[in-house]
Amino acid sequence: MGNAAADASALQWSITAMSEMTQRLPQVKVWDRSRAFAVIGEAVWWVTIVDATLVRHHPGAYDGVVAGQSPAERRRTEATLTGLRFVRNRIGRKVSLAEFVRPGAPCADAGGARITGWTWRPVPEPVLTWLPPRAQAWEMTRYRAYQAQLAGHTVGETFGRSAAFLTLTAANATGMTGISTRAARGWTPSLRPMPVT
């Protein structure tokens, strides 16, 4: 805490880990379901951890990248990350990731045979009576974001947009030149990051 070099190093390590995890997604075949769900779960964890780190420790860089987006892209990015927080908070609490992700049927094309073509399922509204009112409101915001920006969209699209935004933000936060390029290299078309303007 308070050591700028250590902070930059930890952020770079986290971004690298997140990038490597999201880049593994197109390599996982649909018939290896247990591995597929494990990789998706780890990607959810890494994206939300990196997002939380940037929001808390680099708010200026975060807000700067958000401000550079069009209003529609800003809403999409924020809701995507908020929706992933909802998934993170639900899995492990007796909720399986399989309740969130709909595996696609194997098909002949390369994209259809990979988990990047799987889609997020619409899910029922959660029962949150065990939470205090303020926490219920936060979780319902996350739920609505999930329904709006994840449900019906592919895993590849979701993680492509999130990872592109977070790598750009991290590069702006610490001057990690070249990290955005390294993170985007090797992604398949189904995982191509959305442009951040």
- pLDDT for 5 equals 58
Q: Is residue 184 scored above 60 in pLDDT?
A: no
CB of 30 within 8 A of CB of 36? yes
Helix (H) or strand (E) holding 123: none
- pLDDT for 105 equals 59
Alpha-carbon gap, residue 19 to 16, rounded angstroms: 5
- Would you state the structure tokens that stand for residue 168, as one six-digit string? 């750009």
For the segment 112-156, what is each residue's pLDDT rounded down to a tens digit?
568 999 999 999 999 888 889 999 999 999 999 999 999 999 999
Among the ranges given (70-79, 102-111, 186-195), the one the predictor scored with the smallest mean pLDDT: 186-195
3-state helix, strand, coil in the chain (%, to 5): 65, 5, 30
